[in-house]
């Protein structure tokens, strides 16, 4: 928040790291996932609040059950390009690069889960996005409410879902609870 780096630069770096980095790792590793595997993408509750600050048109796209990975990549790229032209707010985007990057992670997780259900049906692979909470890290600072151990609870819970579990899958989870998207 206090970073004086131009917003367009922040947007490009943040999306490259949080969204495109996650997408690239999943593109390489998902084909290697064995049956009963678990994938946990780390998102944030900020994705939900940022989604609520998007235009109705963008919200509809991000909530769509049929959005493709290609369409999502186009939207994430458009956000970065819109920030470079200083028109992102006029185009319906919230003024948070971190929030948009985490919208991308959450929506990507929903898309990937849908693809796994279609292409690898019967393999019982579960893929979800989660929010660890406000954790005391270098980014969040010492006033954050959760210790790193407490922040790890939801990601570890999802990673260790038993082989008999068929849910959650393609969900956004916080405090071990599925949250509406």
Active-site residues: which are they?
98
Q: What are phi and psi of 65, to 5 degrees?
A: -85, 0
Structure-token pair, residue 13:
């770096």
**Across-strand partners of 129?**
41, 172
Return the exposure string of 115-125: e unless at least 16 CB atoms fall within 10 Å of the residue's CB, then b: ebbeeeeeebb
Q: How many angstroms separate the CA atoms of 31 and 14, rounded?
A: 26
Shortest CA distance to 125 belongs to which of 134, 136, 116, 114? 116
């Amino acid at each position: 928040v206090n970073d004086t780096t131009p917003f367009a630069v922040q947007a490009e770096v943040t999306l490259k790291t949080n969204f495109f980095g996650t997408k690239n790792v999943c593109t390489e590793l998902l084909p290697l996932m064995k049956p009963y595997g678990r994938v946990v993408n780390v998102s944030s509750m900020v994705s939900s609040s940022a989604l609520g600050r998007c235009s109705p048109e963008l919200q509809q796209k991000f909530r769509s059950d049929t959005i493709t990975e290609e369409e999502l990549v186009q939207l994430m790229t458009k956000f970065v390009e819109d920030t470079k032209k200083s028109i992102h707010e006029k185009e319906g985007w919230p003024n948070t690069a971190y929030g948009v990057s985490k919208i991308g992670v959450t929506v990507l997780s929903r898309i990937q889960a849908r693809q796994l259900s279609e292409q690898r049906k019967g393999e019982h692979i579960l893929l979800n996005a989660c929010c660890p909470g406000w954790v005391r890290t270098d980014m969040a600072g010492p006033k954050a409410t959760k210790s790193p151990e407490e922040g790890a609870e939801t990601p570890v819970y999802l990673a260790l879902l038993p082989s008999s579990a068929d849910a959650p899958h393609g969900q956004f989870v916080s405090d071990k609870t599925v949250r509406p998207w």
